[in-house]
Amino acid sequence: MEAVFAVVVGLFFSAAIYLMLSRYSIRIMLGIAILGNAVNLLLFTTGRVTPDVPAIIQKGASTLDNAAANPLPQALILTAIVISFSFLAFLLVLTYRAYQDLKTDNTGEMQLAEPDERPLPPLGY
């Protein structure tokens, strides 16, 4: 089961990097969202995916059974989901506001400091 998750994590990471290398800010934002999901799935996979033994300490025992799934990655994932959702909402507002002001989604055209009508630099001295 972990091998399937490892392949899916690899696919998620490759799709995220492909989207983040784009010129369009909406694709970059989607790549960041997929990257966050890939990291969450990676953390989940490292915590041993097993439905056989619940992550509960039995009565009379002082530690968790070795065959049980580790509950720490699951807690980390819950926190990461909340943080990534708020970060994605911030990026969405930032992208929408940039599109309203600049009328473009292309990051190559988002250059207010260097407008297209600028004079040429001096060619000789």
* Helices within the chain (DSSP H only): 2-20, 25-46, 71-102
What integer pLDDT is reported at residue 45 of this predicted model?
85
User: What's the topology of domain 2-47+68-107?
Assistant: Helix Hairpins (1.10.287)
pLDDT given at position 113: 67
Q: What is the pLDDT of residue 46?
A: 81
End-to-end CA distance of the chain: 69
Q: Answer yes or no: are the C-beta atoms of 29 and 88 closer than 8 Å.
A: yes
Which residues on neighbouring strands pair with residue 24, listed in sequence order? 106
The domain spans of the chain are 2-47+68-107
At 51 the pLDDT is 64
User: Alpha carbon of 48 to those of 5, 6, 10, 120, 122: distances in Å?
Assistant: 11, 12, 18, 61, 64
Q: What is the full per-residue pLDDT of the chain (125 aa) written as tens digits?
A: 778 989 999 999 999 999 999 999 999 999 999 999 999 999 888 876 666 667 777 788 887 777 777 778 888 899 999 999 999 999 999 999 989 988 888 888 887 666 677 777 788 87
What pLDDT score was predicted for residue 50? 65
CA-CA distances (angstroms) from residue 121 to 17, 54, 89, 110, 125?
A: 36, 69, 41, 21, 11
Does residue 3 sit in helix, strand or coil? helix
